[in-house]
Amino acid sequence: MNVNAAVAAAAAVAGLCTGVIAMLAFRWSERDQARPTRSSLHTDAVLPPGVDTVLSVLRSSAVVLDEGDAVVKASSAAYALGLVRGGRLSVEPMLQMARDTRRDGEIRQVELDLPRRGTGRGEALAVSARVAPLGSRLVLLLVEDLTEARRIEAVRRDFVANVSHELKTPVGALSLLSEAVMDAADDPEAVTRFAGRMQIESTRLTNLVQELIDLSRVQNDDPLEDAEPVRVDELVAEAIDRCRHQAGTKQITMAAGGTADLHVWGNRGQLAAALGNLVENAVNYSPARTRVGIAARRVAAPGGDLIEIAVTDQGIGISEKDRERVFERFYRVDPARSRATGGTGLGLSIVKHVVASHGGEVTVWSAEGQGSTFTLRLPEAGSVRDRARAERVRGPLPDGPAFDDPADGPADPFVPESLPAPGGHP
C-alpha cells in the first residue's frame, strides 16, 4: 500500500513538472515570436500602415532600421548600391546618423563619397543621405545617387572654361595684331604680315563659333523631324571636295570606293558635316604624301541593314588612353598640332552627337604610327533600297545603271587598294 502511494505521488510530481515546463515553453515561444528576428527583417509587420507602399514607389534607395540598428526594410536599389549587407547597414557614417536621429529625433542630411562595388578602380559613388525618424522606434534612411548629376555638372564647368579659353585666344590675338598694324602704319610689309595673321585668327574664331552653334543643335540627340533619304555617294563627294585644297597642299591622295548607290536616313546637312569632320581630321593629322580613303558598304543587322562609312588614314594614330576620350568636347590628342592646324577640339564631338541623333554609332580603331579608321554606322533608308532592288529586276534606272548588291556577287571593284574594309584594321 505504501509502495502504491509513493508511485502515485511520484507520478503527480512528474505531471506537475511537465505542466510547468509546457507553460514556460509556451510563454517563451510567444515572446520569441514577438521579438524581431532576422527572418522578419524583410517583412512589413512592424512598419506603420502604408509605409511599405510609399517606399516601393520612391526613386531613392530606402532603408528602415529598428532600435537595434537591424534592417527592417530595404529597397532593391539599396542592395544594388551596397548599403545593406547581411541584414545590417554597411556604411558607418549613415549608421551613426541613424543613431543620432533615433536619440534626438532630428532630421539629418549629408553628402558622402562611397567606394563603388565590383570595380578595382578608385571610382567613388557620390550620394546624398537623409535620415528621419519613422514612428517611435524606427528610423528611415533615404539615399540619392548623385554620381551622374556631378558628372554632368563637371562637364558643364569644363565646357564653360574651355569655351572661355578658346574664345579668349583668338580675340586676344586680334587685339594685339590690330595694335601692331596701327604701330606699323608706315611699314607696308609689316602691315601685310600682321593683316595675314589677323585673317588666320578671325577664321579660327569664325570656325569655333560655327562649331559651337552646330554642337548646340545636335547635342540633345533628339529624333530627327526633317529626315529624308540621303545618298552616301553625294556625302562622300562633298567631304572630299571640302578637303581637296588641304590634301593637295600636303600631296595627300584621297580615294573613295565601296558599294555604290547606298542611302541613309537622316538630315543631309548634319550628315555632311559629320563625315566632312572625319575626312578633315584624317587629312590634318596625316603626313605628306600619304593616303586617305573613304569606303561605304551595307551590313546586315538584327534591326535592319546598316550602312558603314569608314574613313581611313595613314597618320600618327591615337594611343589607347586617348581613344577613350577623343569624342569629348575640346579634347585634343596633340594640342600643339591641333592649334597648328586650326582645330577646335569640337569636330569629333559633333560627329558623335550627329550619329546618335540618327540612331547610329561611331567607332574608332587606331594604332600609334599606323593610322586610324573611324567608322560611321547609320540605318539604311529601307524604302529606297527596296525600290532599287525592284528596279534592278525590271531594268536599269532612268538616270543611270543599277549597282549590284554586295550579297549578289564579288566585292565592288572600286574599293581603293590598301584600304581596309569599313571598321577593319589597316
Average pLDDT, the chain: 75
Q: What value does the mean pLDDT take over residues 30-43? A: 45
Report d(CA 294, CA 312) in Å as an integer: 7
In the Cβ-directed half-sphere of 371, how many Cα atoms lie within 13 Å?
22
Q: Do 370 and 241 belong together in one domain? A: yes
For the chain, how many residues are written? 426
Q: 419 lies in a domain?
A: no
CA distance 414 to 293: 11
Element (DSSP H or E) covering residue 87 = none
* In a shared domain, residues 199 and 270: no
Are both 135 and 249 inside the same structural domain? no
Q: Quick one: 264 and 392 in the same domain?
A: yes
Which has more pLDDT, 130 or 209? 130
What CATH number is given to the structural domain containing 82?
Answer: 3.30.450.20
Query: How far apart are alpha carbons 79 and 349 in whole angstroms?
Result: 36
* Same structural domain, 153 and 133: no
Q: What is the pLDDT of residue 406?
A: 35
What confidence tens digit (pLDDT) does each residue in 344-379 have?
567 788 888 888 888 899 999 988 888 899 999 999
Q: Which of 48-62, 274-288, 362-376 bottoms out in mean pLDDT, i.e. has the lowest?
A: 48-62
Measured from the Cβ of residue 267, the count of other Cβ atoms closer than 10 Å reads 20
Residue 204 Cα distances to 147, 249, 332, angstroms: 36, 19, 16
pLDDT-above-90 percentage for the chain: 17
Considering the domain architecture, whether residues 138 and 154 belong to the same structural domain is answered as no
The whole-number pLDDT of residue 206 equals 81
* Residue 54 lies in domain: 40-145
**Which region, left, alpha or beta, applies to residue 39 given φ > 0 means left and ψ of -120 to 50 means alpha?**
alpha
Mean pLDDT of 166-175: 80
Cα angle at 347 between 263 and 369, to 5 degrees? Answer: 95
Q: Model's pTM, two decimal places?
A: 0.52
